[in-house]
Amino acid sequence: MQIINNFIDGELIPPSSQQFLENVEPATGNVYSQIPESNRDDLSHAVAAAKKALPEWSGMSIEDRARILTRLADEVENASDELAKAEAIDNGKPISLAKAVDSYRASANIRFFAQAITQFSSESHSMGNEGINYTLRDPIGIVGTISPWNLPLYLFTWKIAPALAAGNVVIAKPSEVTPMTAFLFSKLCVKAGLPRGVLNILHGSGGNIGQAIVEHPEIKAISFTGGTATGKKLAATAAPMFKKLSLELGGKNPTLVFADCDFESTVNQVVRSAFANQGQICLCGSRIYIERPIYEKFKEAFLRQVEDLKIGDPLELSTQHGALVSQPHMDKVLSYIELAKKEGGQVLTGGERITLKGRCETGFFVSPTVIEGLPLSCRTNQEEIFGPVCTLQPFDNDDEAVSLANGTEYGLATSVWSNNLSRCHRLAKQLDFGIVWINCWLQRDLRTPFGGVKASGVGREGGLEALRFFTEPKNVCVKY
């Protein structure tokens, strides 16, 4: 049984209460490690350590800070195989995906922001002969980051890297469901020589230590990624305290396939966009709208590929579809499949729990599920399922495609598949989402603004947006 520890003031230590939670391997359903159930005493310890570390870290030259973060990125890159394996065990995702996406992006995030901070600048506004304004952008101080289980180290580093690069000190809480890679990461921080107290990692449940972080008066900003309901709760706590808040929340993303798309590559990419990470990526396209002339042909090709996805042990290199992250999450996904049937949907493929032979016999596997015959208004098409479930529906023209796509409370990401570029640009303007992909999906440039509109969030991460979030602008007006 592995024991996970908190990371406070540069030390790996158990929670002060000595209370631990069980951590389950999704592919087997077995408990394989224990994680700290941190409390407010642990938080006070972490805040004191962060406070002590702040003057030196925020006052350090940008080059020195960037050098330390680059060393950390190197350590993460060197450990990428170990991290990918740990992520596959902890989360249930295929190890090939964990290597190509999760551990790759963890080091890329840190390297990117280590460089970005050396290029960051602030504005000045001339008042002609009267004077000049210039903007100072200083670190906020102690900031909190709270991240989810679907891309554990990827999203954890996506937050802490810009926060640290901008000169803040951080109290970070990974998801209690997938704590392992953040724990391994804390060891890499020690190896890379990150000064003590600059980053503190507290493990435990959201309702306890997560809520305590949001409530703490000395933590001045919160960067959160997770579900919309949790985001609402966080905002209700943080807003009256006037904390800076970045919320990256849920989605119900539409995929628009037009008759003039590149058929083969579109089918490939739309399968990937619906089922990568077992559909547990906030950007996955779970509502697939297909222009009527190719609806039947597309459906047939799509189903063929979906049925070919290799479901198996996440630790096998050939596996394409692993386990869902937990029993409660699997139960939720299965309950949505039942709901879809009650709402009149026809399950074209999948729709059930899978029992594998051998090591993974009791794991949380659900087959990739495709449903048709449901209207936009039903719960299956309105609520985020966050699993391997998508719906298909035909449309007849551009206007109908846009109105179907925009017809939920969410607005995170969408993709458009067509060779008519003028249509693609027109639709990109009309689609009410933070991210529009044209003939691609999950193609990422870390300099671009990332985030959603409507119930999918407030604020943007990525590039300069993240550095702006993690700094406080101050205008200085000088009269000549």
| 78 Cβ neighbours under 8 A, 6+ residues apart | none
Using CB under 6 A as the binding rule, whether residue 279 contacts ligand NAP is answered as no
Which CB atom, from 301 or from 431, has the smaller least distance to ligand NAP? Answer: 431
- Residues 204 and 21 sit within 8 Å (Cβ to Cβ): yes
User: Which tokens belong to 214?
Assistant: 């949001």
384, 416, 446, 470: which one contacts ligand NAP (CB under 6 A)?
384
SS3 123: coil
- Residues 372 and 378 sit within 8 Å (Cβ to Cβ): no
- Residues 55 and 386 sit within 8 Å (Cβ to Cβ): no
225, 255, 278, 408: which one contacts ligand NAP (CB under 6 A)?
225
Using CB under 6 A as the binding rule, whether residue 230 contacts ligand NAP is answered as yes
Using CB under 6 A as the binding rule, whether residue 382 contacts ligand NAP is answered as no
Which CB atom, from 294 or from 337, has the smaller least distance to ligand NAP? Answer: 337
Min. distance of Cβ 176 from ligand NAP in angstroms? 3
Residue numbers annotated as active site: 248, 282
| 311 Cβ neighbours under 8 A, 6+ residues apart | 319, 320, 321, 322, 354, 356, 365, 367, 368
- Nearest in space to 202 (alpha carbons), one of 183, 188, 220, 187: 183
248, 291, 313, 465: which one contacts ligand NAP (CB under 6 A)?
248
Helix axes 80-91, 104-119, angle to 10 degrees: 120
Using CB under 6 A as the binding rule, whether residue 390 contacts ligand NAP is answered as no
71, 105, 173, 460: which one contacts ligand NAP (CB under 6 A)?
173
Using CB under 6 A as the binding rule, whether residue 150 contacts ligand NAP is answered as yes
Q: Which stretch binds ligand NAP (CB under 6 A): 2-10, 168-176, 330-338, 394-402?
A: 168-176
Using CB under 6 A as the binding rule, whether residue 175 contacts ligand NAP is answered as yes
Total binding residues toward ligand NAP, as defined by CB under 6 A: 32
How many whole angstroms separate alpha carbon 416 and alpha carbon 424? Answer: 7
How many whole angstroms separate alpha carbon 2 and alpha carbon 248? Answer: 31
Q: Which stretch binds ligand NAP (CB under 6 A): 54-62, 180-188, 206-214, 349-357?
A: 206-214
Using CB under 6 A as the binding rule, whether residue 250 contacts ligand NAP is answered as yes
Min. distance of Cβ 51 from ligand NAP in angstroms? 21
Alpha helices in 377-416 (DSSP H): 379-382, 398-405
Using CB under 6 A as the binding rule, whether residue 368 contacts ligand NAP is answered as no
Using CB under 6 A as the binding rule, whether residue 153 contacts ligand NAP is answered as no
Phi, psi of 325 (to 5 degrees): -70, -25
* Amino acid found at 335: S
Q: Name the residue with tokens 């840190």.
A: 110
Q: Which stretch binds ligand NAP (CB under 6 A): 141-149, 288-296, 357-365, 393-401?
A: 141-149
Which CB atom, from 90 or from 313, has the smaller least distance to ligand NAP? Answer: 90
**CA triple 468-164-63, angle to 5 deg:** 95
Using CB under 6 A as the binding rule, whether residue 227 contacts ligand NAP is answered as yes
How many whole angstroms separate alpha carbon 443 and alpha carbon 463? Answer: 15
Site string for ligand NAP, 433-452 (x = CB under 6 A): -------------------x
How many whole angstroms separate alpha carbon 200 and alpha carbon 44? Answer: 11
SS3 9: coil
| 145 Cβ neighbours under 8 A, 6+ residues apart | 156, 159, 160, 163, 170, 171, 172, 173, 222, 223, 224
Sign of the CA dihedral with 87 first, then 93, 96, and 102 last: negative
Min. distance of Cβ 462 from ligand NAP in angstroms? 10
Min. distance of Cβ 356 from ligand NAP in angstroms? 24
Using CB under 6 A as the binding rule, whether residue 375 contacts ligand NAP is answered as no
Using CB under 6 A as the binding rule, whether residue 282 contacts ligand NAP is answered as yes
54, 214, 274, 435: which one contacts ligand NAP (CB under 6 A)?
214
Q: Which stretch binds ligand NAP (CB under 6 A): 140-148, 290-298, 348-356, 373-381?
A: 140-148
26, 139, 226, 279: which one contacts ligand NAP (CB under 6 A)?
226
52, 67, 233, 341: which one contacts ligand NAP (CB under 6 A)?
233
Residues of this chain that interact with ligand NAP (CB under 6 A) are 146-150, 155, 173, 175-177, 205-207, 210-211, 214, 225-227, 230, 233-234, 248-251, 282, 384, 386, 412, 452, 457
